[in-house]
Amino acid sequence: MMLEEHLGAQIKTGFILCGIKTKVYPIQLNEQIREETISCINRIIEDCDLSIVPDSDANEGKCSQCEFLNFCADRL
Ligand code: SF4
């Protein structure tokens, strides 16, 4: 959806890569998926506004080796 906004074009299929072996899941960008995505984004924004952080097992040992530490600052 961000790429659509960037390119000014409609994209009908996307891919989610996840898991240890980076499995690829094709996603049809239909109206339901778009609405769920926007709803999820809005809930994340609301949680950020309320400073609510989801449960995590992150700790100093994990965070200190995390590639996102410079951007996160969520747990430390
Ligand atoms: S730095 Fe942030 S993203 Fe990385 S392990 Fe810690 S909490 Fe998770």
> Integer distance in angstroms from the first to the last C-alpha of the chain?
31
> What CA–CA distance (Å, rounded) separates 6 from 4?
5
pLDDT per position in the chain (76 positions), as tens?
899 999 999 999 999 999 888 899 999 999 999 999 999 999 989 988 887 777 788 888 888 888 888 887 665 5
Residues 6+ apart with CB under 8 A from 28: 12, 13
For the whole model, what pTM was predicted? Answer: 0.58
Tell me, using a 6 A CB cutoff, whether residue 29 lines ligand 1: no
pLDDT score at 73: 63
pLDDT score at 75: 56
Closest ligand 1 atom to 75 CA: 7
For residue 55, the CA-to-ligand 1 centroid distance in Å is 12
For residue 22, the CA-to-ligand 1 centroid distance in Å is 19
pLDDT score at 41: 94
pLDDT score at 74: 62
